[in-house]
Amino acid sequence: MNTVTRPRILVVGAGFAGVECVRRLERKLSPDEADVTLVTPFAYQLYLPLLPQVASGVLTPQSIAVSLRRSKKYRTRIIPGGAIGVDLKSKVCVIRTITDQIVNEPYDYIVLAPGSITRTFDIPGLTDHAFGMKTLAEAAYVRDHVISQLDLADASQDPDERASRLQFVVVGGGYAGTETAACLQRLTHAAVKRYPRLDPGLIKWHLIDIAPKLMPELGEKLGSSAQEILRRRGIEISLGVSIAKAGPEEVTFTDGRVIPTRTLIWTAGVVASPLIATLGAETVKGRLAVAPELKLPGDDGVFALGDSAAVPDLAKGDGAMCPPTAQHAQRQGRHVADNVIASLRGGPLKPYVHKDLGLVVDLGGTDAVSKPLGIELRGLPAQAVARGYHWSALRTNVAKTRVMTNWLLNAVAGDDFVRTGFQTGKAARLKDFEYTDAYLTPEQVRAHIEGAGRQG
Ligand SMILES: Cc1cc2nc3c(=O)[nH]c(=O)nc-3n(C[C@H](O)[C@H](O)[C@H](O)COP(=O)(O)OP(=O)(O)OC[C@H]3O[C@@H](n4cnc5c(N)ncnc54)[C@H](O)[C@@H]3O)c2cc1C
């Protein structure tokens, strides 16, 4: 069999969008039609919406890391590494492997699905002292960190230290921040039973956002219900407020308040992966500007989707872009696979249209709000919909079983307050977890490829 003549499809990123695309290509293309390659730094697809439950110890990290190798039908070649640059002219993707080797991967079709990274601002101390909630390592780190604050506060004789270790700040009132604050507050609240020396009155969670509302997509009534639930549980919500500066032992809010704390969790939005900037192509707020067919205008072999692409939201119209959600990423993954196949076979490409199905917000325990198909739900029914939705969206039966078992165990046995210590002593800044400084500039990509060409 001559492998050289088959078209090469390169998919970058094994998230919601990338994995959905690869699986559909495997199903719909015969092995003789094209070679499919996937570049991914990790050997799993991360189910991000359940990260706050890993951070709060309800789920083990492995349960939301869905294996890419569960079936013999999965025939895609996987390159373990991250793409650090793409040269559209020579159709080459530059990859840094997990052993730090730089390799050039030529392609005929490229599907860019590297997702997003945490959006930060030029706030003094922010990138040095804040934790994100975007990777499995971050969630596991935050879990250890929060439990260690309980342990250290419990052991400390110094009232100031105790107070600062027991205050926690989460910035970002979207679903990621709200769920993170809610799930972790539940954990620290439950700690009172296991740490008899701790004064429950000292444990305090702050959830702040510069916007005037939490999760505006929920609408007026449901949004107020969510706020009410959180306030009842003792989470102090401050709206119209952000961070003025962050230090190792205190955070200053823009309204002048200084909060003694060792825990700042930053979830104030996302921006496209830095990989997108290496293309030197047009972007919209950092996301790669694509046509409704999910392809780069003027370049037949380049497709992009998910959080890293600005995809016109045709269902909404009015020039709207699809929001960065798993719901869109997954559907765009299937759609892009169909369009790549159509390109390959000389067929017409179809525009992507999807009407939002709603939102589910798990606030831990029996607290939740959901809006499936516009129906507003609260409490247990909302929680059943939220967990049912996430459970059914997990790709493999093994992952489903792990998650369900963890949920049942946590409901029956409660939290165990175990710190694993796996990441103790490691650098824990946003860029360490999200590898944001690993990328090349467009000029470096060009120079690298020209250099490789001369050597070859
Ligand atoms: C805490 C949290 C809660 C959320 N809750 C919800 C929710 O309830 N509902 C909802 O719809 N959405 C939710 N989202 C958003 C949703 O997870 C994202 O919109 C979705 O994951 C985007 O899919 P994606 O495939 O574009 O990116 P991702 O799923 O992030 O996948 C990107 C993949 O690319 C890999 N990658 C990154 N850079 C490179 C590179 N250079 N080379 C190769 N691979 C790379 C990453 O490791 C990752 O595997 C949540 C997000 C977070 C963080």
User: pLDDT tens digits, residue range 293-331?
Assistant: 999 998 889 999 999 999 999 999 999 999 999 999 999
Residue 26 alpha carbon to ligand 1 centre in Å: 22
- CA atoms of 336 and 327, how far apart (whole Å): 14
What's the pLDDT score for residue 449?
87
Q: Same domain for 292 and 439? A: yes
pLDDT at 3 over 70: no
Q: How far is CA 301 from the centre of its chain?
A: 27
Instruction: Tell me the per-residue pLDDT of 70-89, one tens digit each, with 9 for 90 and over.
Output: 888 899 999 999 999 999 99
Pick the more confident residue, 452 or 103: 103
Burial of 246 (0-12, 13-18, 19+ CB in 10 A): buried
Q: Same domain for 225 and 313? A: no
- CA atoms of 306 and 293, how far apart (whole Å): 13
Residue 428 within a domain: no
What's the pLDDT score for residue 456?
60
Q: Same domain for 182 and 204? A: yes
pLDDT at 387 over 90: yes
Average pLDDT over residues 332-346: 97
Residue 242 alpha carbon to ligand 1 centre in Å: 24
What's the pLDDT score for residue 363?
94
Radius of gyration of the CA atoms of the chain, in A: 23
pLDDT at 2 over 60: no
- Residue 342 is given by DSSP the state H
Residue nearest to atom 48 of ligand 1 (CA): 15
Show which of 268, 285, 315 is a domain's final residue.
268
Q: Same domain for 176 and 206? A: yes
User: What CATH number should be reported for the domain holding residue 132?
Assistant: 3.50.50.100
**Substitution candidate for ligand 1 out of 11, 12, 16, 322 with most atoms within 8 A of CB:** 16
Residue 315 within a domain: yes
Show which of 268, 298, 332 is a domain's final residue.
268
Using a CB cutoff of 8 Å and minimum separation of 24, what contacts does 344-351 make? 344/7, 344/9, 344/29, 344/33, 344/34, 344/109, 349/293, 349/295, 350/293, 351/291, 351/292, 351/293, 351/314
Residue 416 within a domain: no
Residue nearest to atom 6 of ligand 1 (CA): 49
Average pLDDT over residues 104-112: 98
Work out the mean pLDDT of the chain and round it to a whole number. Answer: 94
Q: Same domain for 305 and 442? A: yes
Shortest-distance atom of ligand 1 to CA 51: 1
Pick the more confident residue, 3 or 66: 66
Which residues share a beta bridge with 260?
250
Residue 45 alpha carbon to ligand 1 centre in Å: 9
- CA atoms of 131 and 359, how far apart (whole Å): 25
Residue 114 within a domain: yes
Is 9:34 a contact under the CB 8 Å cutoff? Answer: yes
Sheet holding 109-112, edge to edge: 102-106, 92-97, 77-87, 35-40, 8-12, 109-112, 302-304
Tell me how crowded residue 392 is: count the other CB atoms within 10 A of its CB. 8
What's the pLDDT score for residue 436?
87
pLDDT bin (cut points 50, 70, 90) of residue 397 is: very high
Residue 276 alpha carbon to ligand 1 centre in Å: 15
Residue 294 within a domain: yes
pLDDT at 416 over 90: no
What's the pLDDT score for residue 4?
58
pLDDT at 367 over 90: yes
Average pLDDT over residues 242-248: 96
Q: Same domain for 77 and 195? A: no
Residue 16 alpha carbon to ligand 1 centre in Å: 6
Residue 239 within a domain: yes
What's the pLDDT score for residue 171?
98
Q: How far is CA 310 from the centre of its chain?
A: 17
Q: How far is CA 378 from the centre of its chain?
A: 25
Question: Token pair of 126, please?
Answer: 């922010």
Q: Same domain for 352 and 257? A: no
Average pLDDT over residues 241-270: 97
Residue 330 alpha carbon to ligand 1 centre in Å: 10
Residue 436 alpha carbon to ligand 1 centre in Å: 15
Residue 404 within a domain: no
Show which of 268, 301, 327 is a domain's final residue.
268
Q: With pLDDT > 90 as the criterion, what percentage of the chain qualifies? A: 85
Residue nearest to atom 20 of ligand 1 (CA): 326
Shortest-distance atom of ligand 1 to CA 39: 43
Q: Same domain for 241 and 143? A: yes
What secondary structure does DSSP assign to 278-341, as a single string?
A: GGT--EETTEEE--TTSB-TT-TTEEE-GGGEE-B-TTT-TT-B--S-HHHHHHHHHHHHHHHH
Maximum Cα interatomic distance, the chain, rounded to a whole number of Å: 73
Number of domains in the chain: 2
Average pLDDT over residues 375-389: 95
**Substitution candidate for ligand 1 out of 11, 20, 21, 48 with most atoms within 8 A of CB:** 48
H or E segment to which residue 209 belongs: strand 204-209
Closest Cα partner for 338 from 354, 322, 352, 355?
352
Residue 397 within a domain: no
Shortest-distance atom of ligand 1 to CA 116: 30
Shortest-distance atom of ligand 1 to CA 114: 34
Tell me how crowded residue 423 is: count the other CB atoms within 10 A of its CB. 16
pLDDT at 356 over 90: no
Q: Same domain for 159 and 238? A: yes
What's the pLDDT score for residue 111?
98
Residue 343 alpha carbon to ligand 1 centre in Å: 26
User: What CATH number should be reported for the domain holding residue 311?
Assistant: 3.50.50.60
What's the pLDDT score for residue 428?
82
Shortest-distance atom of ligand 1 to CA 362: 8
Range of the domain at 160: 120-268
Closest Cα partner for 248 from 128, 144, 146?
128
Q: Same domain for 207 and 249? A: yes
pLDDT at 409 over 80: yes
What's the pLDDT score for residue 307?
98
What lines the ligand 1 site, CB under 6 Å? 12-18, 39-42, 46, 48-49, 51-52, 82-83, 113-115, 133-134, 175-176, 273, 275, 306-308, 324-327, 329
Q: Same domain for 343 and 441? A: yes
Residue 257 alpha carbon to ligand 1 centre in Å: 33
Average pLDDT over residues 343-348: 96
Is 361:179 a contact under the CB 8 Å cutoff? Answer: yes
Instruction: Tell me the per-residue pLDDT of 150-182, one tens digit each, with 9 for 90 and over.
Output: 999 999 999 999 999 999 999 999 999 999 999
Q: Same domain for 133 and 247? A: yes
φ, ψ (nearest 5 deg) of residue 14: -110, 55
Instruction: Tell me the per-residue pLDDT of 176-233, one tens digit each, with 9 for 90 and over.
Output: 999 999 999 999 999 988 998 999 999 999 999 999 999 988 888 999 999 999 999 9
- CA atoms of 272 and 178, how far apart (whole Å): 21
Average pLDDT over residues 102-130: 96
Residue 291 alpha carbon to ligand 1 centre in Å: 21
Instruction: Tell me the per-residue pLDDT of 417-435, one tens digit each, with 9 for 90 and over.
Output: 999 888 787 778 888 898 8
Closest Cα partner for 434 from 197, 117, 184?
117
- CA atoms of 447 and 456, how far apart (whole Å): 14
